Structure 1
Amino acid sequence: MKENSTFAPKANALQDYQFTIIVPVYNEEENLPRVEKELLAYTKIASKKTGILFVNDGSKDNSQALIEETCTRNEGFNYISFKENRGLSAAIKAGFDHVETPLLGYIDSDLQTAPEDFNLLLEKIGEYDLVTGVRANRKDKFVKNMSSKIANGIRRAFTNDGMDDTGCPLKVIKTAYAKRIPMFKGLHRFLPAMILLQNGKVLQVPVQHFPRIAGKAKFGVWNRLLGPLMDCFAYLWMKKKYINYEIKSKGC
């Protein structure tokens, strides 16, 4: 994504950090003040030293200015800004590419999940390579809940990944595994399956869920049903072609 994005290095680069939270942003100016407040609060109680990486996916509102102000005020906060909107999968992929810490996480900027629940996932990551949240008592509208349940059922039938809520926007992944994921549009829904293709181990943990209180949702029925169904066929093609190997020994 280098030709379509800008990256802002800072003097307080994240080499000393253990965990980086990727926050994709697209037209979320109404949410960003609360995002700053809650993520800053989390960094003070995090079980590992935590940095924040915003990925601005070509927002057309005031999101970029707010992100830059946030990163100027807070140590360990940084950003990537795309020249144009490229979609959630591209934003997550850019985050994967730029993270340098051993562990990375992902949370949506609508904050329908709670940053403090990252500690629940980090507690389990030692023996696993991806730990994902499962949204308990979801606060979304009926149509959104039902379309997500149907889409998850279709995806499980294709992937056999055993995940009940792969769309939950709260995940922790070992960075080495994340960087080996060949991301394409829509494949952010298949992160556990992509870890399994690497012979990694995955786990799901119940987390809190809240209603969206600001901004507008970016997904409709097409995104949650028909789009993911098409992505399942892309996943099957990738699974057939996926290259995975382990090195037994090396020369000098």
Structure 2
Amino acid sequence: MPEISIVIPCRNEAANLPLLLDEIGAAMAGRDFEVIVVNDGSTDETTSVLAAEAALRPFPLRHLRHEKSAGQSLSVRSGAWAARGGIVATIDGDGQNDPQYIPMLIDALRQAGPEFGASQGQRLKRRDSKIKQLASRFANWLRNAILHDETRDTGCGLKAIHTDILRKLPFFDGTHRFVPALVIQEGFRVVHCDVVDRSRRHGKSNYGIFDRGLQGALDLVGVWWLRRRRRRMPKAEEIRHG
């Protein structure tokens, strides 16, 4: 069984996947890992590209396909439940996340100790448009002000999470933006790692500024309500007598 499962949620990223897989293979050289590409209802050549890539790769390359698009968060959920590794590392399929940071996130999580449930990438030198950067900066400030998750950038797709903890999180269309708060809710801490963002190589973003902003505001209210209505999960220890 692999130690690490790298989950790539993607929709219509056929042109970006081969190079991304090259980079993952180089970054993870010498480690025991698998890659799970969650094809979120793509209408491009993703299926044929992955069939060809699976025959070439020295590491296990698995292809999960959603019949219809369900969004990034539910794609991560599908990958989490399919994962064979004890740690799930996530990375976006558009090439903007650099795979060289995956080992750093994994090692940071392992070295942080058992009280830590996840490591979260935080982007430097954002490559998005200025308006997207400003919108993201405001959204992160508002989220942290309300949820107190002490995370500068939760939208970064680079994360490493213990698989059993990831499977416990509530999943909805937007979970990926609230992973630190939800991990803290489960009674664990989050370690942060700075990463450098890149420009998209091919295609265009599947997400707009205003639709993402409106959905994010609704999700923020929902996560706030969840945290108000549910106490932080206690750690239960069995006491044996006799």
Using structure 2 for the length normalisation, give the TM-score: 0.91
Q: 1:184 aligns with which of 169, 172, 178?
A: 172
CA-CA distance at 1:18 after TM superposition: 0.9
For residues 148-181 of structure 1, the C-alpha deviation after alignment (integer angstroms, 9 at most, x for no partner) is 1111111112210010000011001111110110
> Which one of 8, 21, 45 corresponds to residue 62 of structure 1?
45
Supply the distance in 1 between the matched residues of 2:230 and 2:163 (Cα, whole angstroms).
Answer: 19
Structure 1 residues not aligned, in runs of 5+? 1-14
- Counterpart residue identity of residue 115, structure 1: P
Q: Give me the CA root mean square deviation.
A: 1.7
Does 1:114 pair with 2:76? Answer: no
Residue by residue, what CA displacement relative to the aligned partner does 1:31-87 show, whole Å, maximum 9, x if unpaired? 122122212222315xx4221110000001111111222223223111211111111
Alignment-mate amino acid for residue 153 of structure 2: D
> Alignment partner for residue 198 of structure 2, among 203, 210, 228?
210
The within-5 A match list for 1:1-252 is: 15=1, 17-44=2-29, 48-74=31-57, 75-126=59-110, 127=113, 128-242=116-230, 244-249=233-238
TM-score (norm: length of structure 1): 0.88
Q: Distance in 1 between matches of 2:99 and 2:17?
A: 14
Give 1:250 deviation, angstroms.
7.1
Give a deviation string over 1:68-107, Cα, whole Å, max 9, x none.
Answer: 2222322311121111111111101111111121111000
Once residues 242 and 72 of structure 1 are traced to their aligned partners in structure 2, the CA distance between those partners, rounded to angstroms, is: 47
Gaps spanning 5+ residues in structure 2: where? none
Distance 1:67 1:151 in 2: 35
Number of matched pairs: 235
CA contact (8 A) 1:90 1:185 kept: yes
Contact kept? 1:151, 1:224, Cα under 8 Å:
no
User: Matched residues in 2 for 1:180 and 1:242: separation?
Assistant: 14
Calculate percent identity across the aligned residue pairs: 26
Shift of 1:129: 1.4
Asked whether the 8 Å contact 1:154–1:229 carries over to 2, the reply is no
Distance 1:229 1:192 in 2: 17
Distance 1:237 1:129, change over 3 A: same
